[in-house]
Every structure is written in structure tokens, then in C-alpha cells.
């Protein structure tokens, strides 16, 4: 009966309750949609980072990552890559050689990270080939070996398909090495910083230039069936990799890890700010509801309704009011979010800024059901917390005075 009274009391001052419910619904809708939008943007960034740049796991010789020095390499790399690729959780594995060259063109110079890949295997691990704006993915035409460069670097060095570049580096033995390459393709990802710094050549071409021994590699990139499995799969890959280091994408890119970990916190802080603002509105509404019913509450106390029950009744009333608005806001928010899960939000007007940080300009919203459950609990908690002050006011009433109040 107390539940029934609390629910009917919510609708006692219909217009006041509706205004409060609408305010809560708008607040929660904004919260849900913003969370879904931010999550979508981060998911896209992670997707891009793992699919285009890092893959899910990487294997290196010990100490290689300290300064990307060619002298630290994986031996028996082909066999190791094949063994890893045969693991049930692994989709594909690709060997890479890595150098940090100095690049010269007729119009300028630049630096970056030169990655030697086996195109057919690399296609299964990363999707740079899908981002080609012009040319081919390392198809050799003529006697000069091919190189694929990013759009940003191509613009900077005024490169186009067919342009020659001179690539200089220190080889494995510490000697100076210089070699000409011809631009076979130009790619563009969502991350302009990446495009400016990463160049791709064929594995064997770089192997020759670095003077690497047969069957060696600096890196094996591993794509898993599911990216979220990386920490779980890592131990079994580590067993196969022996003395080499295995790292997940989060370990390889701490800034990405920070982004994903802190995003959840940011989103909850954002929601808490919304709920805190709503809290004051609910306190005001509930306080008015209590002060309007002093006589009635006094009567309830007089006839034997104890303080605990009165407290519960007011808390329930507040929770019902908040939950009605909250659930409404969450339903509308998730409904609209659902639409943008398949129809992207176009942010191309901000493309310069977004691409600098690797964020896509087309954002698909993403919302997990767990987030909605957490939000619902937060709404209930807000309702309860907001009712404490008005409920305490009610409990302080003296029934003798309250029943005779005007």
C-alpha cells in the first residue's frame, strides 16, 4: 500500500511532476546520447589503431622497442609467424622489418618509420591497402623497388605515384645505407600524424638494405579473432614466442589505453554532473511535496505510521519520480542512439582537428547494455539521495502540531 500511495503522490501535483520528469528525461537523454557518441568515437579510434596501425598483439626481440635498433631481431621468424597464425584465436600474423630512415625527394626531406612488409600477409593483418588513394600496394613496376607513403608525407615532399625518393638509414652493422625507391601508392587513414610518419616497402627490399640475415624480422604483428581477447590470448602466444617479448595493443600504445580507460571515467563524471544538477531539482520538488503535506504526514505519524515507513514512503516517491523521467530519457536516448549506430554522424567540418588525433569524421554511436544498467542504478541512487533532506524534514515534524497546521 505504501508503494501505491507513493506512486499516487507522484501524480498529485501533475504539472509539477511532469515538468520534473521532462527535465530528468532531457538530462538523461543528453547523457545517454553523449556517452554513446563519445564511446563510438573512441571505439572507432581503437578500431583504426588496431586494424590500421598496431594489430592486436606484437612480438619483438627483447630490447628492440627501447630504440628500434636493427641489431635486436627475431630469429626463425617465418616459422614463428606460421606457428602463431595456426593458433585458434589468431586470425593472421605478419612479419615486419623496421627502420628509421631519412627520406629525400626532389622537393624536400623528412623522417619516419619505414616498415618492410609481405603485402599478401600484411593485407590479412592491417588494412592500409584499403586506404590507398592512388597507385598500388607495393606492386613493383620496373627495377626500382616500390614504396607506399602517406598522404600527409606525399603532400609535404610533393610526392606522387611514380616519384623517386632516396631512403637513407644505418644498417644492421652500423654502416650508412642509401637506396632509391619509387612511390607505388599513396594512402590516407583517419590519422594524419600516422600518415606523415609511416612508409611501407617490401620485406625483402628492406632486408637487403638493412643487411639482415635470412629468416629474421623485427616484429610480428598478430590479428586476433576478437580484439578484446588480447590479454587472454597473450600467455599462449608468449609460450610460442619463447624468449621474445609479446605485447598487447594497449601495452604498445599507452596513450590509447589511457584513452579507453579514462573515457569511461569521463563519461561517468559527465553523467554525474547531469544527475547532480537534477538532484537539486528533485530536492526542490520533494521538499515542496513534503511541506504541502505537513498535516497529512502529521496524521500518518499520529495514527501509528512509524518514522521508518514515512522515510521509505518519501524515498519511494522520489525514486518513482526520478525513475519515470530517467527511464524515459534512457529509452529515448537509446532509441536515437540506435539510429546512429547504423547511420553515422558526419563531422567532416571538423576533419582537420579530428584527423590530427586519429579520430574518424564519421562517428557511429555505440552503447553497451551494461552502461544502461549502471545508468538506471545511478538514477535510482539520485532519487534516493535527493529525498533524504525532504524526508528528514518530514521526520522532524511534531504530529500534534502538524495535524493542526494550516
Partner 1 sequence: MNIIEIKSLHKTYDDDSVPVHAVNGVDLNVEEGEFTAIVGPSGSGKTTLLNIIGGLDDATKGSVTIDSTNITELSSRKLTNFRMANIGFVFQAYNLIPVLTAKENVEFIMHLQGRDKHDRESRASELLQAVGLGEMMDRRPSKLSGGQQQRVAVARALASKPKFVLADEPTANLDSKSTENLLNIMQQLNKDENITFIFSTHDQRVVNKARRVITLEDGKIINDINKELL
Give the footprint of partner 1 on this chain (CB under 8 A): 1, 5, 8-9, 12, 295-296, 298-307, 309, 398-400, 403-404
Q: How far is the CB of 9 from partner 1 (least distance, A)?
A: 6
Q: How far is the CB of 349 from partner 1 (least distance, A)?
A: 53
Q: How far is the CB of 385 from partner 1 (least distance, A)?
A: 25
Phi-psi label, residue 55: left if phi above 0, alpha if psi -120 to 50, beta otherwise? left
Q: How far is the CB of 284 from partner 1 (least distance, A)?
A: 21
| CB closer to partner 1, 234 vs 293 | 293
| CB closer to partner 1, 61 vs 294 | 294
| CB closer to partner 1, 304 vs 370 | 304
Q: How far is the CB of 33 from partner 1 (least distance, A)?
A: 35
DSSP 100: -
Neighbours of 9 (CB within 10 A): 19
Burial of residue 193 (CB within 10 Å: 0-12, 13-18, 19+) is middle
Return the sign of the alpha-carbon dihedral for residues 263, 269, 270, 272: positive
Q: How far is the CB of 227 from partner 1 (least distance, A)?
A: 54
Counting Cα atoms < 13 Å in the Cβ hemisphere of 397 gives 30
| CB closer to partner 1, 76 vs 398 | 398
Q: How far is the CB of 233 from partner 1 (least distance, A)?
A: 58
Rounded CA separation 178/184 (Å): 19
Rounded CA separation 328/334 (Å): 10
Q: How far is the CB of 398 from partner 1 (least distance, A)?
A: 8
Reduced to 3 DSSP states, what percent helix, strand and coil does the chain have, rounded to the nearest 5?
60, 20, 25
* Biggest CA-to-CA distance, the chain: 103
- The runs of H, that is alpha helices, within 149-191 are 151-156
| CB closer to partner 1, 114 vs 289 | 289
Burial of residue 368 (CB within 10 Å: 0-12, 13-18, 19+) is exposed
| CB closer to partner 1, 125 vs 301 | 301
Q: Enumerate residues 6+ apart whose C-beta is below 8 A from 1.
A: none
| CB closer to partner 1, 226 vs 307 | 307
| CB closer to partner 1, 7 vs 266 | 7
Rounded CA separation 243/237 (Å): 11
Amino acid at each position: 500500500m505504501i508503494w501505491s500511495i507513493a506512486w499516487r503522490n507522484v501524480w498529485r501535483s501533475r504539472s509539477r511532476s511532469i515538468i520534473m520528469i521532462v527535465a530528468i528525461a532531457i538530462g538523461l537523454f543528453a547523457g545517454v546520447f553523449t556517452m554513446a557518441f563519445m564511446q563510438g568515437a573512441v571505439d572507432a579510434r581503437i578500431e583504426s589503431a588496431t586494424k590500421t596501425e598496431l594489430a592486436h598483439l606484437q612480438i619483438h626481440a627483447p630490447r628492440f622497442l627501447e630504440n628500434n635498433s636493427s641489431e635486436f631481431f627475431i630469429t626463425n621468424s617465418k616459422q614463428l609467424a606460421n606457428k602463431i597464425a595456426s593458433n585458434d584465436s589468431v586470425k593472421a600474423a605478419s612479419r615486419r622489418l623496421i627502420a628509421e630512415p631519412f627520406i629525400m625527394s626532389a622537393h624536400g626531406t623528412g623522417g619516419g618509420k619505414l616498415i618492410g612488409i609481405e603485402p599478401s600477409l600484411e593485407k590479412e593483418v592491417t588494412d592500409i591497402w584499403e586506404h590507398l588513394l592512388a597507385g598500388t600496394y607495393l606492386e613493383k613496376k620496373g627495377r626500382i623497388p616500390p614504396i607506399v607513403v602517406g598522404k600527409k608525407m606525399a603532400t609535404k615532399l610533393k610526392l606522387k605515384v611514380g616519384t623517386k625518393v632516396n631512403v637513407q638509414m644505418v644498417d644492421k652493422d652500423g654502416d650508412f645505407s642509401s637506396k632509391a625507391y619509387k612511390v607505388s601508392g599513396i594512402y590516407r587513414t583517419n590519422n594524419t600524424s600516422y600518415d606523415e610518419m609511416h612508409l611501407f616497402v617490401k620485406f625483402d627490399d628492406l632486408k637487403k638494405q638493412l643487411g639482415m640475415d635470412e629468416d629474421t624480422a623485427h616484429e610480428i604483428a598478430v590479428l586476433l579473432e576478437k580484439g578484446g581477447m588480447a590479454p587472454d590470448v597473450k600467455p599462449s602466444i608468449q609460450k610460442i614466442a619463447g624468449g621474445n617479448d609479446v605485447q598487447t595493443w594497449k601495452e604498445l600504445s599507452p596513450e590509447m589505453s589511457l584513452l579507453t580507460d579514462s573515457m569511461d571515467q569521463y563519461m561517468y563524471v559527465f553523467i554525474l554532473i547531469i544527475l547532480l544538477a537534477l538532484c537539486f531539482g528533485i530536492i526542490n520538488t520533494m521538499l515542496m511535496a513534503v511541506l504541502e503535506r505537513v498535516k497529512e504526514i502529521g496524521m500518518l505519524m499520529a495514527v501509528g505510521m512509524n518514522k521508518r515507513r514515512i522515510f521509505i514512503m518519501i524515498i519511494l516517491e522520489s525514486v518513482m519520480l526520478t525513475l519515470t523521467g530517467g527511464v524515459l530519457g534512457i529509452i529515448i536516448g537509446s532509441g536515437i542512439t540506435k539510429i546512429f549506430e547504423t547511420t553515422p554522424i558526419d563531422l567532416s567540418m571538423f576533419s582537420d582537428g579530428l584527423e590530427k588525433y586519429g579520430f574518424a569524421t564519421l562517428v557511429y554511436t555505440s552503447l553497451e547494455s551494461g552502461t544502461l544498467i549502471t545508468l538506471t542504478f545511478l538514477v535510482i541512487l539520485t532519487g534516493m539521495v535527493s529525498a533524504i533532506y525532504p524526508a528528514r524534514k518530514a521526520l522532524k515534524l511534531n504530529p500534534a502540531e502538524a495535524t493542526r497546521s494550516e
